[in-house]
């Protein structure tokens, strides 16, 4: 029985206007202005994109890294519903909410980047689709997953609106929705790695391997747990709530297990393909590789011992490091380790950075509004409220 | 600490097995596709090219592309590379004193940059909406802007850096050579080959062009030889009589008839390498040169196309959706046991687990 005896979720309450929400508002307004220019005058008007680097941070960060950050919902749901660890149930809703935002925005972010966005329906049009294309698979899975997550989250909305009838109907089918909600992210998170395979020798051998789907999937799973660590610690501090260490400590152990498998695959792959030499030459790419590895190995030292895993500061730091490590791997594969030959170079413009910041601002603002007004976070016990 | 050791052993074994499984995948990769038998293409002979850029201008006109300027006076079309508006360009290699043509040291040479029309193109494999397609008969890699979503995966995927995007336009398209396929129905072939004064760029069936390339490699450097220009036809087609098409144009085997334009000149000093014969599984555009191809901007590529590996991984994981449905089935079965409808449990809220 997965969901017995846990604190029922309840709105946090409180005001919505503060320095954080106002800053988010400003960032979102800036993003809207930049996007208007982009849609009126083309991608070149606001981005540094060129034919050597046709994909910039809107793809590498907003979509590829952003959707990995949004794997909390999937990682926790797998723990609770597939491995039947009911004790983590209070983490499900907040993680799901963050994922919902992350993915919905990744989907929106793709639209900003598409040069001919009005043709996007072809992605789902049976006479246009190309099943050989990895991007087709990614697009279909992400779209389906966004729908699935909204259904997963719908009981929260129905609860708030008092529509018990609808809530009961949805909850009858929830087991299937949850199953879909674990399979779809497995499919597209691995495929986000496979996206690079067709780029062939243009991607540096440290990030170009047939093991990409496995590496991206495993890292998405531990990044999901890392994001939950990060988000739980941050929420508890910001809302002055009790830290959820009793759930985070054992969850971190599972995270380390996935991480350990990942590290073996990552290093084993580099060794077996004989590309270790490329990691010890003096190059930016080699440096990035070791930076990435450091982010993966440090958490093992930081919270490897059970007693250290009870330390919220260490948990938080380990979470941040893993988010960073997974991000670096993605950034290196898609941008830093991508080399087309010729004199092309890419560094994001301020406008591109502001749009990315605006996207994260939408996430933060949405998370604040919804947790304050909708039953997402577990209700605080009286003695826990300071 | 037996459990920790067991855990580590498990991690190592699991990780190693997974790595071995995935890394050995290349042996299962599908074969790189080869050119269709009737594939059309170009043969570019760098030693015959005089760098007049007539082909660059003809390409612009045939594809209705605007001029691009790289000089202050904006008088002439002076693109520096292929772009969303320039599908063909002649680049120049310069070294030292530039004393002699087709000489690597203290010499210079020309190279044509345009779509290679790969036998197994990455752009076609990458395109999620089939906007980039390979004609099953002619093998021409064509582009359809009415399907294209502008994702630029083709731009990222092409090892030759050929598909280019129009970043300056809110409705930007992908631009690339389509071998003038829009002119084929009128019997016209690729404009670049049509105008080439020295026969450095020839149009024809790739099989015929490959034979011509090999003929040239067998020539003695400096020896007088006959070189064709324009459209290189195979022997049977050459023997055919031209027929009027009813509109006053003579046609032969579906193409406009033209007089034999071949001429005599001295054979160049070739590297013994037909670029495109094997590269990336073969391309329909072939190249000959006297200077190292990499120095002329042509990438050094192995015989396998990246699409073979990419599609193998894709179909092993998702072929007929067998694996996704199997996993979904298992997940549904497990979730069915673990997920209870909300109303059975939500009433018990407020009680923590007591931890």
Q: Specify whether the CB–CB gap between B111 and B291 falls below 8 A.
A: no
Whether A116 has a pLDDT exceeding 90, the answer reads yes
User: Measured at the alpha carbon of residue B133, what is the angle toward residues A197 and B123, in degrees to the nearest 5?
Assistant: 25
The encoded tokens of residue A161 equal: 């609106």
Residue B89 has phi, psi (to 5 degrees) of -150, 150
Regarding the domain delimited by A19-384, which CATH topology (the fold level of the hierarchy) does it fall under? Formate dehydrogenase/DMSO reductase fold (1.20.1630)
Mean pLDDT in residue range A358-366: 92
B331 located within any domain: no
B178 located within any domain: yes
CATH number of the domain residue B153 falls in: 3.30.70.20
Residue B90 per-residue DSSP state: E
% chain A with pLDDT above 70? 97
A187 in reach of chain B (CB within 8 A)? yes
B163 located within any domain: yes
Residues of A in contact with B134 (CB under 8 A): none
Helix (H) or strand (E) holding B224: strand B224-227
B315 located within any domain: no
B34 in reach of chain A (CB within 8 A)? no
Whether A5 has a pLDDT exceeding 90, the answer reads no
Whether A383 has a pLDDT exceeding 80, the answer reads no
> B5-25: buried (b, 16+ CB within 10 Å) or exposed (e) per residue?
eeeeeebeeebeebbeebbeb
Which residue of chain A has the CA closest to B28?
Answer: A210
Predicted pLDDT of residue A52:
94
Instruction: Encode chain B (355 residues) as per-residue pLDDT tens digits.
Output: 456 566 666 666 666 666 555 554 445 678 899 999 999 999 999 999 999 999 999 999 999 999 999 998 998 899 999 999 999 999 999 999 999 999 999 999 999 999 999 999 999 999 999 999 999 999 999 999 999 999 999 999 999 999 999 999 999 999 999 999 999 998 999 999 999 999 999 999 999 999 999 999 999 999 999 999 999 998 888 888 888 877 778 888 889 988 889 999 999 999 999 999 999 999 999 999 999 999 999 999 999 999 988 988 888 888 778 888 888 888 888 888 887 765 444 433 333 333 3
> What are the boundaries of each domain within chain A?
19-384
B166 located within any domain: yes
How far from each other are the two terminal CA atoms of chain A, in whole angstroms? 32
Which residue of chain A has the CA closest to B343?
Answer: A168
B87 lies in which domain range? 40-305
CB-based contacts of B121: which residues, under 8 Å, 6+ apart?
B132, B134, B141, B158, B305, B307
B201 located within any domain: yes
Domains contained in chain B, number: 1
Mean pLDDT in residue range A329-344: 91
CB atoms within 10 A of CB A220: 26
Evaluated on CA atoms A78, B4, A212, A68, the torsion sign reads: positive
Please answer yes or no on whether A213 and B317 come within 8 Å at the CB atom: yes
pLDDT digits (tens, 9 = 90+) for B140-191: 999 999 999 999 999 999 999 999 999 999 999 999 999 999 999 989 999 9
β partners of residue B244:
B250
Mean pLDDT in residue range A44-60: 95
Mean pLDDT in residue range A63-91: 88
Q: Which of residues 253-292 of B touch A (CB under 8 A)?
A: none
Q: Which of residues 348-377 of A touch B (CB under 8 A)?
A: none
Choose among A122, A175, A341: nearest Cβ to B335.
Answer: A175
Please answer yes or no on whether B122 and A130 come within 8 Å at the CB atom: no
3 state SS of A252: helix
Mean pLDDT in residue range A28-39: 97
Q: In sequence order, what DSSP letters do the residues of A138-163 get, joined into one string?
A: HHHHHHHHHHHHHHHHHHHHHHHHT-
CA gap A51, A323 in Å, rounded: 30
């Amino acid at each position: 029985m997965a969901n017995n005896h846990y604190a029922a979720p309840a709105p946090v309450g409180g005001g919505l206007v503060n320095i954080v929400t106002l800053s988010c508002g400003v960032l979102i307004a800036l993003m809207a202005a930049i996007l208007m220019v982009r849609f009126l005058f083309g991608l070149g008007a606001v981005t540094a994109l060129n034919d050597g680097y046709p994909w910039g941070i809107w793809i590498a960060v907003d979509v590829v890294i952003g959707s990995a950050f949004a794997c909390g919902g999937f990682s926790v749901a797998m723990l609770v519903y597939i491995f039947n660890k009911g004790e983590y149930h209070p983490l499900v809703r907040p993680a799901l909410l963050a994922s919902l935002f992350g993915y919905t925005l990744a989907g929106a972010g793709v639209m900003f980047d598409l040069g001919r966005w009005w043709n996007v329906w072809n992605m789902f049009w049976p006479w246009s689709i190309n099943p050989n294309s990895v991007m087709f698979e990614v697009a279909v899975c992400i779209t389906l997953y966004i729908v699935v997550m909204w259904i997963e989250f719908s009981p929260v909305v129905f609860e708030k609106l008092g529509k018990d009838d609808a809530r009961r109907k949805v909850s009858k089918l929830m087991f299937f929705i949850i199953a879909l909600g674990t399979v779809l992210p497995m499919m597209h998170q691995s495929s986000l790695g496979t996206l690079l395979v067709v780029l062939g020798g243009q991607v540096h051998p440290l990030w170009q391997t047939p093991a990409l789907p496995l590496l991206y999937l495993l890292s998405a799973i531990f990044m999901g747990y890392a994001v939950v660590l990060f988000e739980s610690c941050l929420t508890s501090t910001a809302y002055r709530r009790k830290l959820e260490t009793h759930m985070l400590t054992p969850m971190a152990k599972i995270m380390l297990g996935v991480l350990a498998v990942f590290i073996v695959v990552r290093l084993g792959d580099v060794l077996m393909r004989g590309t270790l030499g490329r990691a010890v030459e003096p190059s930016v790419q080699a440096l990035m590789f070791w930076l990435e590895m450091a982010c993966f190995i440090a958490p093992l030292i930081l919270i490897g011992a059970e007693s250290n895993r009870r330390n919220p500061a260490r948990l938080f730091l380990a979470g941040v490091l893993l988010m960073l490590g997974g991000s670096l791997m993605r950034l290196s594969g898609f941008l830093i380790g991508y080399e087309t030959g010729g004199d092309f170079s890419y560094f994001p413009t301020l406008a591109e950075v502001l749009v990315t910041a605006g996207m994260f601002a939408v996430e933060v603002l949405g998370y604040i509004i919804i947790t304050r007004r909708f039953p997402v976070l577990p209700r605080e016990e009286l003695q826990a409220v300071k | 600490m037996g459990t920790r050791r067991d855990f580590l052993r498990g991690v190592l074994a699991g990780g190693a097995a997974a790595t071995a499984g995935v890394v050995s995948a290349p042996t299962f990769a599908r074969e790189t596709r080869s050119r269709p038998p009737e594939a059309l293409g170009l043969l570019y002979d760098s030693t015959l090219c005089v760098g007049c850029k007539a082909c660059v201008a003809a390409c612009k006109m045939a594809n209705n592309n605007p001029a691009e300027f790289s000089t202050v006076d904006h008088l002439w079309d002076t693109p520096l590379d292929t772009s969303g508006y320039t599908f063909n360009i002649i680049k120049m290699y310069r070294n030292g004193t530039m004393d002699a043509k087709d000489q690597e040291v203290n010499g210079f040479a020309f190279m044509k940059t345009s779509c290679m029309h790969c036998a197994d193109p990455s752009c076609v494999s990458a395109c999620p909406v089939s906007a980039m397609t390979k004609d099953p008969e002619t093998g021409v890699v064509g582009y359809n802007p009415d399907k294209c979503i502008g994702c630029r995966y083709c731009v990222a995927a092409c090892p030759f850096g050929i598909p280019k995007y129009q970043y300056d336009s809110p409705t930007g398209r992908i631009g690339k050579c389509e071998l003038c396929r829009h002119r084929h129905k009128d019997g016209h072939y690729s404009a670049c080959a049509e105008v080439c004064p020295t026969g450095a760029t020839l149009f024809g069936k790739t099989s015929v062009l490959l034979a011509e390339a090999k003929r040239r490699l067998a020539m003695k450097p400096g020896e007088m030889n006959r070189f064709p220009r324009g459209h290189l036809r195979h022997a049977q087609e050459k023997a055919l009589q031209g027929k009027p098409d009813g509109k006053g144009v003579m046609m032969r085997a579906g193409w406009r008839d033209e007089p034999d334009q071949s001429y005599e000149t001295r054979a160049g000093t070739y590297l013994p390498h037909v670029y495109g014969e094997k590269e990336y599984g073969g391309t329909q555009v072939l190249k000959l040169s006297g200077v190292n191809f990499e120095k002329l901007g042509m990438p050094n590529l192995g015989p396998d196309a990246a699409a073979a590996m990419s599609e193998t991984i894709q179909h092993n994981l998702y072929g007929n959706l067998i694996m996704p449905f199997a996993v979904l089935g298992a997940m549904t079965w497990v979730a069915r046991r673990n997920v209870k409808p909300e109303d059975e449990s939500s009433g018990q809220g407020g009680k923590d687990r007591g931890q």
